[in-house]
Structure 1
């Protein structure tokens, strides 16, 4: 399973590329648009745990509960 998180202000995530990925990934289970984020916020933002990583861990536990 694949989950995609992408921010509005990410200079590396072109909207056309994101749309292409959404259209072509067969095992996509989730997509989350993060309005007020950029590429580095995934690592450096103080609230990254709340905005991204809690949901990511939940998805991992849902699809791989034994780990």
Structure 2
């Protein structure tokens, strides 16, 4: 109710989104706020948030840390193994933005440097944030259309088809 059109509390709804993913009023469709808030954080589990926090705390991109004893039984070592990103050979395009508070451009570059088939692509909209990839007013033109075009190009290129 507080997020609906005309509510004087509607700025609180968008503000709560900005606190997590980055501030951007230009891409926020306020009429969608009741739907957005009604489905957020859908599709995410507490364990995913814990794993994300573990990565921030350790500074490493590795599997879930269950604790010393459980790690030993699960992984055969006291700490979780790092992901071997050199095993990812599929052509990959990373879309990232400088205002995404959940995905720092330095992390994107580090991920790209460790993968063999990655291609980073900066969204050249200064305020584009984490949630704009899902709900941004211009996301179709800025990201989705380009992703579909890349997929169609790869579909016609036999070197990228499975063998």
Question: TM tier, shorter chain?
Answer: 0.7 to 0.9
Tell me the TM-score normalized by structure 1: 0.84
- Structure 2 gaps of 5+ residues are 1-90, 157-163
So what's the TM-score if we normalise by structure 2?
A: 0.37
Paired position in structure 2 for 1:41:
132
User: What does 1:27-66 align with in structure 2 at a 5 Å threshold?
Assistant: 27-28=117-118, 30-34=119-123, 35-65=126-156
User: Any idea what the Cα deviations from partners look like across 1:6-64, whole Å, max 9, x if unmatched?
Assistant: 01111111232111112111112x32111330000001111100000110000000112
Instruction: Report what 2:116 is aligned to.
Output: 26
For residue 64 of structure 1, give the secondary structure of its aligned residue in structure 2: helix
Question: Across the two proteins, how many residue pairs are aligned to each other?
Answer: 65
Between the aligned partners of 1:52 and 1:15, the Cα distance in structure 2 is 17
Task: Give unmatched runs, 5+ long, in structure 1.
Answer: none
Higher helix fraction (1 or 2): 2
RMSD: 1.6
The structure with more strand, counted as a fraction of residues: 1
